[in-house]
Every structure is written in structure tokens, then in C-alpha cells.
A and B are shown apart, each in its own frame.
Chain A
Amino acid sequence: MDQKTKAYAGTFLIAAVLAVAPFAVGGAFGNTWVRVLDYAALYIILALGLNIVVGFAGLLDLGYIAFYAVGAYLYALLASPHFGLHWPAWAILPLGACVAGLFGVLLGAPTLRLRGDYLAIVTLGFGEIIRIFMNNLNAPINITNGPKGIARIDAISIAGQPLSKAIEIAGLKIPGVYLYYYLFVVLALGIVFVSIRLQDSRIGRAWVAIREDEIAAKACGIDTRNVKLLAFAMGASFGGVAGGLFAGFQEFVSPESFGLMESVMVLCMVVLGGMGHIPGVILGGLLLTVLPEAFRHGAGPAQQALFGKVLLDPESLRMLLFGIALIAVMLYRPAGLWPDARHRREMAEKKS
């Protein structure tokens, strides 16, 4: 087989696996797990967005979930009985990307001179500000409905068919979670495509140059201000799209979904998978969505079988194991589970 045939075969194989996955998973473990896959696709979109900011441009952002919140609330406000607006998803999602991108620039502009820890602290604050706004913007004018959140959001529909309802094709019943799965996977693939194209371009090189040495990057004629803002905007817009999808999928949003822990989770996906390496980030997103769920479902029964009773609350055990896993990965695979060749070499050299 020559190179091209191989590439086509690989693409076909991936497409086949992705297409069959919900049926295989749903059939074997039930539709709850297809729902987990839906979330995995959402988190992969989020992680790829954060990867542009953290992985490519090297700007540590701890408030990334704010853009997810902006996208989600925009969808919720424009497609729910709350304001009586029922815009279609195809209009809201691109708008969500733009608005979140704008917020990215708003966050980026005052933090341009900051790097590393300082930037992390400011972005952390930004994430909290957005969440607190969502929590409190129910008075004097009720915009976000406060901590109660916004319910009865319209499901995402395509061609008049809401994805939350099962459809029947040739006698085959396809439940809503499957339909969402296909939508999210297609969009995630689109985001992967954009990420790959950006990485291997003039803009992508400028991001990496800033990460490597900002002063040298300036001396090369890179307008670091604009290029950094572009990274913030691009990353944020991915987050905005994911947020919109989340709102339409859940049909409910509340400030609780956008806490610091979520930001940390997405950052973990990027770091654990392999910063700046797209396949690694996808792997990180998938693992960190699926494994905790598997544990949540598995820990109780496992203890029951071993000791005859549940000794430790699965929820706290889950966090404990998650922490241990993080430490282990950072100790033994500091560049992430699946780093790109460049990072792997760098880390190997530091060790020796």
C-alpha cells in the first residue's frame, strides 16, 4: 500500500469506528454510556480550544470555562421560554463562537503583559467573575435567572427534527443521545481540522515562537499583542461553541456547571494528554470523561463484592484516585500520555 491508500484506509477505519461506536457502546452498556460519549466529544472540543491558548501559545489560562459559560448562556437566553426567544441552533452557535471570542479578547487585552503564574491568577479571577455574574444577574432585571438557572431550553434541531427525540430510519430506532453523538463528533472533527490547519501555519508558528521566547518573537517582527489576542479569541470561540451545544443538549443551564473545578478538569485534559499535541489532547479529553464515569458506576458494586459493604463513598474515592493518577502521570510521563515528538525529547533530556 502506498502512502495515500494508507491514509484513506486509516480515515475510513476511524470513520467506521466513530459511526458504529454509539451502537456498540449503547448495546453493550446501555444508553447512559452513549451520553458519556456525548460529553466526551463536548470536552474534546473544549480541550482543543484550551490547547490553542495553553499548548500552542503557552499562556496558562485557568478561567477557560468562562467561555463555555458564555456560549451556554447565550444559547439558553436565545432559545428558551425565559425571554420567549426561540432562535434556531444554526444561528446561535456561530453567534456564540463570536461572542465568546469577543470575551476572549476582553480577557486577553488587560493580561497581555502577564505570563505564567500571574496570568493564571488573573484568568482564574475572570472565570469566577463570569460565574458570579451568572449567579447574580437576576436582579434588578432578571437576565440569567440567578442560581436557579434557565430550564426548558430548546433542544438542538436539524431540519425541524429536534435531536432529543428518537427517529426511525428503515425500522431502525435511533435515540436522541445517538443523534447528539453524531452532531458532536462531526463538530469535534471540524475543530480538530481547524486546529491542525492552524498549527501548521504562519499563525501557528507565531504562537509557538511566543511560547518559546517572547522577546525573540517580537524581534522577528511578530506583533505579539495581536497574535496573543488571536489565540485567546480562537480558543474562546471553540469554548463558546461547546457551551452552546451543552445548553441545547442538557436543556438546562445553571452557574453550578461552570465552576473552577471545570476549568481545572479541562486543563488536566490538555496537560495529561500532551500539551500542544492534538491527538494527545483528544485522548486526554476522552479518558478524563469516561474513566471517572466508569469509576462512579463501578466503585460501589466492586466494594460490595469485595468487602460485602460499601466502605468508601464512591464520589470521594473517585477524587482521591483522580489525584493519585494525576501525580503518577506527572511523575512518570511529565510531557503527558501522548506528547508530540518534540516535547518527548525535551523531557527525556531534562531527566538524563
Chain B
Amino acid sequence: MSALLEARGVGKKFGGVQALKDVTLTINAGEIYGLIGPNGAGKTTFFNVLTGLYTRDGGEVLFAGSPLRLGSPHEVTRAGIARTFQNIRLFGNMTARENVMVGRHARTGAGVLGAVFRSAAARAEEAAIRRRADELLHYVGIADRGDDLARHLSYGDQRRLEIARALATEPKLLALDEPAAGMNATETAALRVLVEGLRADGVTVLLIEHDVKLVMGLCDRVAVLDYGEKIAEDVPAAVQKNPKVIEAYLGGSVA
């Protein structure tokens, strides 16, 4: 298996708080990689550093063999990392289809002249964007909601729409920030099927999740963060038995 993403010694400080300390991890192509940890452990910070939203204070990130530039989220997306947000960030006043169409932005190129004169190339591209958006809506299972405003969708559907929008950028790595948060059991089960389908289709997934059952059942490998440090990285079965992990989660030694 080849490494898709390598983070080496990544650090991040907020004032006096060391949110991330020397985090080194490797995500292999084609796997579902889980990132867990207690609240405030630095999971989302790591995510934001990885996707260029925060500038990191140290270390480097190699993606598909080349280093990622600091602090430019759109370039990270172009390089092939797409993300969803812990608190869903859709374009609320655009329709579901338009949301996914925006996701195609990075992979298309029509400019002002193309838009104004509707050249053959621009028209073809626009049709392709629309077609792809409909395919993706169908893929995540909300094909019938295409014309609804994003903020009128149910919570579970909004999560799906966000995933569809992220997939529209043709990511090599899809980073999901607590996708099951706030979902009921049925929605979580459906999400699991969706993420497994992604893996089957060759998308590598980085998953931050609180739902330990979901993570352990879904992920090929899991890393555990605690106070900004990686304390374990292994297959789920081994991580579950790791005493450091148990201590971090239960707060104290377990005999």
C-alpha cells in the first residue's frame, strides 16, 4: 500500500496553547483512516491545518508525493483534499444542485468571456457540471432534492449534500469532520453504507468521529489524539486495547 498523505511533526499553537504537538501520521491510499480523541484533543485543529484553513507552526505535510502549501484552502482542494465541516457549512440559499455545482469550480475553467458569449466550450462545460452534480446527488441518495434550497433539507440530507459537494471536487482524499454528529441510529447506519461505498469506489477517507462504534467498525486504521499529541495509531482492535487510549478516554488508570 502506498502512502497518500504523510504528516511529519505538524504543530500548531494558539497563543500559549499547544493545540497540536509534533503530530506524525501516514494515511495510505484506499483506506478509511479514523482520527479520534477526547473533546479538545486537537482533531479539528489537525483537520484545519491539513486543509489549509490554519497555517501550521511546524512540520510538513506531503500529499501524493508533493508538499502542501500553507494557508491556501483552495489550493489544497485543487491538490485533491476535500472536506466537510463539523458544523455543516452549506450555501444555504442555493439549491442542493447548485451547491454541488459550486464544488465543480476547481475542476472547470469557464471565465467571464465564456459566460457572456456562451461559447460552445462554455456551454458544454456547464452541461457537464450540471450532469455531474445530478450524478453526485444521486450517488449520495438525495437525487429528488436537487431543486430544494440547501437549508430546507433535513439534517441527515444536509450532511449527504456536503459530502456530494466535496466529492464534486474530485478528491483523492475526502476528510469528514464528525459526519455522524447529531445523527440518529438509522441515519448513522446509512452514512456507514455511504462511506463504505466511497472506499469501494477508490476514495481514501479521513474520518474524525466521536461515535466509537462507527469508527471501530468502519476504519482500517485509527489514530488517537490526546492534548494535541498522537498517543496511538493502529488497527481498531489494537487501539481499543491500548492502555494509553483507555486512560485518555476514561480519565485515569484502569486496572
A247 interface residue, CB < 8 Å from B? no
A222 CA to B110 CA in the complex, in Å? 13
B74 touches A202 (CB 8 A): no
B216 interface residue, CB < 8 Å from A? no
B45 interface residue, CB < 8 Å from A? no
* Cβ proximity bits A187-222 to B, threshold 8 Å, 1 near / 0 not: 000000110011011111110110011011111111
A202 CA to B111 CA in the complex, in Å? 8
Residues of chain A within 8 A of B122, CB atoms compared: 201
* Cβ proximity bits A115-145 to B, threshold 8 Å, 1 near / 0 not: 0000000000000000000000000000000
A346 to chain B, nearest CB (A): 6
A200 nearest in chain B by CB position: B115
A220 touches B165 (CB 8 A): yes
A351 interface residue, CB < 8 Å from B? no
A345 interface residue, CB < 8 Å from B? yes
User: Among the listed B74, B111, B116, B125, which residue makes an inter-chain contact with A221, where contact means beta carbons less than 8 Å apart?
Assistant: B74
**A interface: dominant SS:** helix
A209 touches B149 (CB 8 A): no
B169 interface residue, CB < 8 Å from A? yes
B158 interface residue, CB < 8 Å from A? no
A115 CA to B91 CA in the complex, in Å? 17
Residues of chain A within 8 A of B169, CB atoms compared: 220-221
A69 interface residue, CB < 8 Å from B? no
B126 interface residue, CB < 8 Å from A? yes
Which range holds the interface residue count of chain A?
20 to 34
Residues of chain B within 8 A of A113, CB atoms compared: none
A303 CA to B87 CA in the complex, in Å? 60
A342 interface residue, CB < 8 Å from B? yes
A202 CA to B105 CA in the complex, in Å? 7
A105 interface residue, CB < 8 Å from B? no
B112 touches A203 (CB 8 A): yes
Max count, chain B CB within 10 A of own CB: residue among A202, A212, A224, A346: A202
Stretch with Cβ within 8 A of A (4 or more), from B2-10, B92-100, B237-245: B92-100
**Do A218 and B73 form a contact, CB below 8 Å, given A204-B115, A209-B91?**
yes
Residues of chain B within 8 A of A223, CB atoms compared: 74
A234 touches B91 (CB 8 A): no
Stretch with Cβ within 8 A of A (4 or more), from B19-27, B32-40, B78-86, B198-206: B78-86
A212 CA to B92 CA in the complex, in Å? 7
A241 to chain B, nearest CB (A): 14
Residues of chain B within 8 A of A216, CB atoms compared: 85, 89-91
A346 CA to B152 CA in the complex, in Å? 11
A316 CA to B186 CA in the complex, in Å? 65
B103 interface residue, CB < 8 Å from A? yes
B138 interface residue, CB < 8 Å from A? no
Residues of chain A within 8 A of B232, CB atoms compared: none
**B interface: dominant SS:** helix
Residues of chain A within 8 A of B74, CB atoms compared: 218-224
A234 touches B112 (CB 8 A): yes
* Cβ proximity bits B104-119 to A, threshold 8 Å, 1 near / 0 not: 1111101110111110
Residues of chain B within 8 A of A92, CB atoms compared: none
A213 CA to B166 CA in the complex, in Å? 15
A198 CA to B129 CA in the complex, in Å? 16
A220 CA to B51 CA in the complex, in Å? 11
B102 touches A220 (CB 8 A): yes
A230 interface residue, CB < 8 Å from B? yes
User: Among the listed B102, B104, B168, which residue makes an inter-chain contact with A217, where contact means beta carbons less than 8 Å apart?
Assistant: B102
A215 touches B89 (CB 8 A): yes
B122 nearest in chain A by CB position: A201
B102 touches A215 (CB 8 A): no
A58 to chain B, nearest CB (A): 11
B137 interface residue, CB < 8 Å from A? no
Max count, chain B CB within 10 A of own CB: residue among A193, A217, A219: A219
A351 to chain B, nearest CB (A): 16
B32 to chain A, nearest CB (A): 20
B93 touches A346 (CB 8 A): yes
B100 nearest in chain A by CB position: A220
A224 to chain B, nearest CB (A): 7
B112 touches A230 (CB 8 A): yes
Residues of chain B within 8 A of A218, CB atoms compared: 53, 73-74, 77
Q: Which residues of A line the B interface, CB within 8 A?
A: 193-194, 197-198, 200-206, 208-209, 212-213, 215-224, 230, 234, 342-343, 345-346
14 A–B pairs (Cβ distance < 8 Å), ordered by A: A197-B115, A197-B116, A197-B117, A201-B110, A203-B112, A205-B98, A209-B94, A209-B102, A215-B85, A215-B89, A220-B102, A220-B168, A222-B105, A230-B112
Q: A218-B74, A219-B51 are in contact. List 11 more A-B contacts (CB 8 A).
A: A193-B116, A194-B116, A198-B116, A205-B98, A208-B94, A212-B93, A213-B90, A216-B91, A219-B85, A221-B103, A224-B74
Q: What 8 A-B pairs have minimum CB-CB distances, sorted nearest first?
A: A221-B106, A201-B115, A221-B77, A212-B91, A218-B73, A216-B89, A209-B102, A202-B110
